[in-house]
A and B are shown apart, each in its own frame.
Chain A
Amino acid sequence: MADRKPGPVIPREAASLRTMTATMAVMCYLACLAIGALILINRAVDNWARGLSQEVTVQVREIEARDIDADVSAVISLLKETPGVTGAEDIGREAAEKLLEPWLGSEGLDALPVPRIIRVAVDQARPPDFESLAADLKQVSPGASLDTHRRWEDELTRMAGTLTALSVLILLLISGSAVAMVIFATRAVLDANRQTVDVLHLVGAEDAYIARAINRRFLATGLWSGGLGVLLALLTFFILGNAGLPQADGLASASRSLFYVPGASVWLVPLALLSVPVVGTMLALVTSRITLLRMLRTLP
């Protein structure tokens, strides 16, 4: 009985901390969503970019006084001789017209000069020198042009960069608000316990001791709210992935893909999400400690 655990120097009940737990949980939740979005964007862009760079096409436009069929076969034979090219195939006039249909309609295409499209398979390991290939193609047929989709790739990468920057900005804003809130909560807790803190000082406690005693409250708060935030985020991803909302089809498969990815990166997302309560708690602890030590210094 005599050696039982002593009561907490700073009382456990603190209304200001309860508010903080709720707000902190929301912030951790938002942070988790931002991280999920960040991962999804980068993964999607990766996939698209990979798909794009595998596909190279050559367009042969009809030019007056030239036989387009001859041009096409000349282009194909040049392609087949080019190192790094593993295959070249004319998709045919009908298929080419089909590609244009959405823009021009199906009627009257016969009268138009529809470019012929040659699909080129490229050895991913040793791709051809596209620049000299483009020049060679122009030699064989002035109407031929090489489309490596590099423009699209650049566009995608730029967009991904923008979205990534946005997500990081959001994370920074969330962290900033969290810091501000922890400072407020720390002040509130200190104000609510001023009498206790005075007594502790008068019986010879050092600032660091008092800061530790108050900080202990923030550890529990941080872990609780962080865990709650992650749980809510996981629930959100799960619901999005399984709700089967037709208008959110892309979102659903994206949410699912966050977790059911083939390969080694299955742990990436859970680990990234788990870092939220850890980082959040450390942020809360460091912030409240600095705030406490600064505020205690101003007391008599």
Chain B
Amino acid sequence: MLELQNVGFRYGRGQDILREVSFRLQRGAFSFLTGPSGAGKTTLLRLLFLALRPTSGRIHLFGEDVTRLPRTALPPVRRRVGVVFQEFRLLDHLTTFDNVALPLRVQGQGPADYSRDVMDLLDWVGLKKQAHAYPPVLSGGEKQRAAIARAVIAKPELLLADEPTGNVDPVLARRLIHLFAELNRLGTTVLLATHDQGLFKQVRAPVLHLQDGTLRTL
């Protein structure tokens, strides 16, 4: 499903953020990615959703070497990956509904195709009432759930979530973790980056620890 081989990365001519990082994620796995703030968790995830290219090493995704994929080949791969961004990256000029529908829209689907699915999903994450509200009026927790809904609407094979509980209270955090566990149970491979140790107690899953540019499995 996902394999990194000796991946190294640095921004421009800066210092190494990642050094010789190797790990493998089986299909259907659930894994945490942890480490102190600034350790490079977000950077690692960016490599995985192909927003960055590694300085060295190789990345395999869905059985394909994506290390040096040409630009035109990126969209089909990205459509198989759902991403929850640390800063949500919702589009302020679109309603919650339209934000969640975006991944389907860019694939050419129209409202007739996706309306039901989007509404069902909004219902599932408890945002049905906010469907036609715009992100600026949503609370942190609501934005978080909208971002998660957008990440999973297209039924991705791999879900990457960057601090998905960073902006919510512990009760909602627990609910969201269970939401990810539920998605995982339905077949999605999940990699969840967090610096919140408390989450590990809720789902029994391997923890990848990133520190000083190197990765260890706890």
Contacts and interface: CB of A to CB of B under 8 A. Distances in A.
Q: Do A and B come from one complex?
A: yes
B106 A195 contact: no
A202 interface: yes
A2 interface: yes
A204 B89 contact: no
A126 interface: no
Nearest to A210: B106
Interface in A88-127: none
A69 interface: no
Interface in B119-159: 119, 150, 154
A300 B51 contact: yes
Contact of A7 (B74, B93, B115): B93
A7 B52 contact: no
Contacts of B101: 6
A297 B112 CA distance: 32
Contact of B89 (A11, A195, A206, A207): A195
A203 B116 contact: no
Contacts of B119: 2
A271 interface: no
Majority secondary structure of chain A interface residues (helix, strand, loop or mixed): loop
B103 A3 contact: no
Contact of A200 (B51, B76, B106, B154): B106
Interface string B43-60: 000000101100000000
Contact of A297 (B71, B91, B94, B116): B71
B111 interface: yes
Nearest to B94: A7
Interface in A1-57: 2-9, 11
Nearest to A10: B93
A7 B132 CA distance: 11
Which of B49, B52, B71 has most A Cβ within 10 Å?
Answer: B71
Majority secondary structure of chain B interface residues (helix, strand, loop or mixed): helix
B98 A202 contact: no
B106 A196 contact: no
Interface residues of B, number: 30
Contacts of A8: 93
B116 A2 contact: yes
A interface, size bucket: 20 to 34
B99 to A, nearest CB: 9
Given A6-B105, A202-B78, A204-B75, A300 B52 contact: yes
A195 B135 CA distance: 15
Contacts of B94: 6-7, 9
Nearest to A296: B71
Contact of A4 (B75, B91, B111): B111
A192 to B, nearest CB: 12
Contacts of B95: 7
B102 interface: yes
B105 A3 contact: no
A297 B70 CA distance: 10
A205 interface: yes
B83 A202 contact: yes
Contacts of B52: 300
A7 B93 CA distance: 8
Contact of B106 (A3, A4, A7, A209): A209
B153 to A, nearest CB: 9
A202 B107 CA distance: 12
Contacts of A5: 111
A16 to B, nearest CB: 16
Interface string A176-217: 000000000000000000011011111111110100000000
Closest 8 CB pairs of A and B: A205-B106, A204-B79, A11-B93, A2-B115, A204-B78, A203-B103, A3-B111, A7-B94
Interface of A: 2-9, 11, 195-196, 198-207, 209, 297, 300
13 contacts: A2-B119, A3-B112, A3-B115, A4-B111, A195-B89, A196-B91, A199-B91, A201-B75, A202-B49, A204-B154, A207-B71, A300-B51, A300-B52
Given A6-B94, A300-B52, 4 more contacts: A2-B116, A9-B106, A204-B76, A204-B79
